[in-house]
Structure 1
Amino acid sequence: MPRFAANLTMLYNEHAFLDRFAAAAADGFQAVEYLFPYAFEAGEIARHLKDHGLQQVLFNAPPGDWDAGDRGIACLPGREAEFRDGFARALDYAEALGCPRVHVMAGLAPQGADRAQLQATYEGNIAWAAERAAAAGRNVLIEPINLRDMPGYFLNRQDEAHRIVQAIGAPNLQVQFDLYHCQIVEGDVAMKLRQYLPTGRVGHLQIAGVPMRHEPDLGEVNYPYLFDVIDEVSAACGWQGWIGCEYRPARGAVAGGTSDGLGWLRRATAT
């Protein structure tokens, strides 16, 4: 049976952020993820995890200036020092929260930039981050993201992400395989699960309905079938990762908006 983690950036938005931990636990989630923890003290978040019996399974390294439009800075020449400072902060939070994985966002490719220079900067930063994370007992994840939701994003395809992971060769560097982004960019999701999960290079999965990024039982993707594929492949290869529920509830930020849409989760986890 797949293991599901609530994404507290997108789910339970009728609550203040720190109150979302209790809401997720009340609905039966045993793990959480979110974009960024840095607006709160690590100890405060750790208390909420402990109080509600939750595991922290993923968050993102600082992305640069999010409000100004940054979506990561790992591929951007000239910002290496800022990247390293931010990643060191992420490792401090990962230690305090007992989080095994940190996702590093690539960033937006500047218009007219030399792609080869961006690639070299990106791979250099990722290799550096993987080395530092290994010393701290953490994994680094990179994620292909579709260009419709994030125009200009540097990394878009599964095969490219896996090429980078193989080229760098760090055992703690893995791919964050978001089935929503993959469906939009490439499709053929079931075959990619069969191709990539057995490699050991997939550290985390994420889901959302396509095309509107609502609950996974809304839209064009047959998630019950894909959950069966994940179970089948995992049983054969020993994959034991989490599936992050990174979607926007169709009912929005209203009381019960997330909980009322969890019929898909109850069906998926029924014994």
Structure 2
Amino acid sequence: MPRLAANLSMMFTEHAFLDRFGAAAKAGFTGVEYLFPYDFEAHELRERLDQHGLTQVLFNLPPGDWEAGERGLASLPGREGEFREGVERALDYAKALDCPRLHAMAGLLPQGASEATREAHLATYVDNLSHAAEACGRAGRTLLIEPINGRDMPDFLLQRQELAREVIQRVGSPHLRLQFDLYHCQIVQGDLIRTLESQFDVVGHVQLAGVPERHEPDQGEVNFGPVLERLDSLGYDGWVGCEYRPAGDTVDGLGWARAHGVVAK
């Protein structure tokens, strides 16, 4: 049975962010993830985790100027210094929160990018990930990369599972693994179970959401029951992040999760 982690950037938004920890615990979650911790002091987040008996599962490296539309720095030529500073900042938070996994968003290509521009971004991506994976390894953390669909995030460099595997192989670090998001994979290429099987040896974290609306996993075109059963049979012992936007009240939509051990307190 997978261990489900609530994504506090998307779930329990009926509450202020720091109050979402308690709401998630009350709903029966024991792990949490979210996009970014940097609007808060690490000790504030640590206090919430400890108060509610929660495990911090994952968060992202600084993404650049999110409000201006940036979606990661890892592949952006000329921003290497800023990316490396972000790695160190994220590792400081990871230490304080005892968080084992950090996700490095690849970033966006310029609109209409040429093949030469794409290759330059890819080369920067591999170099930056090599640096970050080494830093994460020294700190006892795992770095993750995630293919994200181009409908939700146009021009995102990393969209397909095959490219993620190629990048991981090029970096060649045991500290770099794949964040396999079932929602994004279904939109980009489908064939979830076979794709999961082919990628399983590099999977470090899994996320899910209903397709296409990104609501609860029991809504939409995917029957996630067999997918999660296959994940179990493959021997996955990590977390599955619930990175979805509830269609209504978060707790009211958690009926699907009860079969997976999320029991309200």
* TM-score range normalised by the length of the shorter chain: over 0.9
Q: Deviations over 1:141-165 (max 9, x none)?
A: 0000000000010000111101111
Residue segments in structure 1 that go unaligned for 5+ positions in a row: 252-256
Task: Please give the alpha-carbon distance, in whole angstroms, between the structure 1 residues aligned to 2:251 and 2:262.
Answer: 16
Question: Which residue identity lines up with residue 265 of structure 1 in the other structure?
Answer: A
Task: Please give the alpha-carbon distance, in whole angstroms, between the structure 1 residues aligned to 2:256 and 2:226.
Answer: 12
1:188 to 183, 188, 191: 191
Task: Please give the alpha-carbon distance, in whole angstroms, between the structure 2 residues aligned to 1:156 and 1:196.
Answer: 14
Residue equivalent to 2:231:
230
Classify the secondary structure of the residue corresponding to 2:57: strand
Residues 105 and 146, structure 2, Cα contact 8 Å, conserved in 1: yes
Task: Please give the alpha-carbon distance, in whole angstroms, between the structure 2 residues aligned to 1:168 and 1:87.
Answer: 16
Residues 33 and 56, structure 1, Cα contact 8 Å, conserved in 2: yes
Query: Within 5 A, what are the aligned runs for 1:1-271?
Result: 1-111=1-111, 112=113, 114-197=117-200, 199=201, 201-234=202-235, 239-251=236-248, 257-269=249-261
RMSD: 1.2
Alignment TM-score, normalising by the size of structure 1: 0.94
Task: Please give the alpha-carbon distance, in whole angstroms, between the structure 2 residues aligned to 1:269 and 1:230.
Answer: 16
Task: Please give the alpha-carbon distance, in whole angstroms, between the structure 2 residues aligned to 1:86 and 1:231.
Answer: 34
Task: Please give the alpha-carbon distance, in whole angstroms, between the structure 1 residues aligned to 2:25 and 2:184.
Answer: 27
Residues 29 and 262, structure 2, Cα contact 8 Å, conserved in 1: no
Task: Please give the alpha-carbon distance, in whole angstroms, between the structure 1 residues aligned to 2:92 and 2:214.
Answer: 31
Going from structure 1 to structure 2, the CA distance change for 1:8 and 1:162 (only over 3 Å counts) comes to same
Residue segments in structure 2 that go unaligned for 5+ positions in a row: none
Q: How many residue pairs get matched?
A: 260
Task: Please give the alpha-carbon distance, in whole angstroms, between the structure 2 residues aligned to 1:225 and 1:33.
Answer: 24
Question: Which residue identity lines up with residue 262 of structure 1 in the other structure?
Answer: L
Residues 224 and 268, structure 1, Cα contact 8 Å, conserved in 2: no
Question: What is the CA distance between 1:270 and its match in structure 2?
Answer: 8.2
Q: Percent identity?
A: 59
Question: Which residue identity lines up with residue 83 of structure 1 in the other structure?
Answer: F
Query: Which range is displaced more, 165-174 or 139-148?
Result: 165-174
Alignment TM-score, normalising by the size of structure 2: 0.96
Residues 7 and 242, structure 2, Cα contact 8 Å, conserved in 1: yes
Question: Which residue identity lines up with residue 26 of structure 1 in the other structure?
Answer: K
Question: Which residue identity lines up with residue 252 of structure 2 in the other structure?
Answer: D
Going from structure 1 to structure 2, the CA distance change for 1:6 and 1:270 (only over 3 Å counts) comes to closer
Classify the secondary structure of the residue corresponding to 1:268: coil
Classify the secondary structure of the residue corresponding to 2:259: helix
Larger RCO of the pair (alpha carbons < 8 Å, separation 6+): 2
Task: Please give the alpha-carbon distance, in whole angstroms, between the structure 2 residues aligned to 1:32 and 1:268.
Answer: 15
Task: Please give the alpha-carbon distance, in whole angstroms, between the structure 1 residues aligned to 2:3 and 2:183.
Answer: 17
Question: What is the CA distance between 1:208 and its match in structure 2?
Answer: 0.2
